[in-house]
Amino acid sequence: MKDIDRDDFHKRAQELIKARNIFIPHVTKNITIAWDLYQEMLAEEKMAPRLMSDIDGRQPRTILDDLGRLSCLKCDSEMSLREIDKGKYRSQWECLKCGAVRKSKKTVEQWIQKLMKRNLALRKP
């Protein structure tokens, strides 16, 4: 068995507890059988994996990952878009690499529409 860290051990122990609660004593009294049944049940569940963003690997993917993002003027990395409400500004692009910020009067929805139009224009021959 490979070495696992404390967090992985805790996650596996929690899954084993779930298997025990579901299948023991109603279906079986054997924890090995309960564990095998639990693993089969998870495999059949076909849960979609949670895809993480390419920009930093920690954020869930958004529509912007498919539409394209603005590039940072300082370091040329992709920027993250978020909604703000600071006076005349409604959104801001932030570089997760260097921290540069570009505030905008457009809303997030307006940015998405603009990026969709840009992508459509790029696809036309």
**Residue 91, CB-side half-sphere exposure with 13 Å CA sphere:** 13
* Arithmetic mean of pLDDT over the chain: 79
Transcribe 48-111 into DSSP letters: PP-PBPTTTSSSBP-HHHHH--PBPTTT--BEEEEEEEETTEEEEEEETTT--EEEESS-HHHH
Task: Tell me the pLDDT tens digit for each residue of 24-69.
Answer: 877 788 888 888 888 877 765 554 444 455 544 555 567 777 778 8
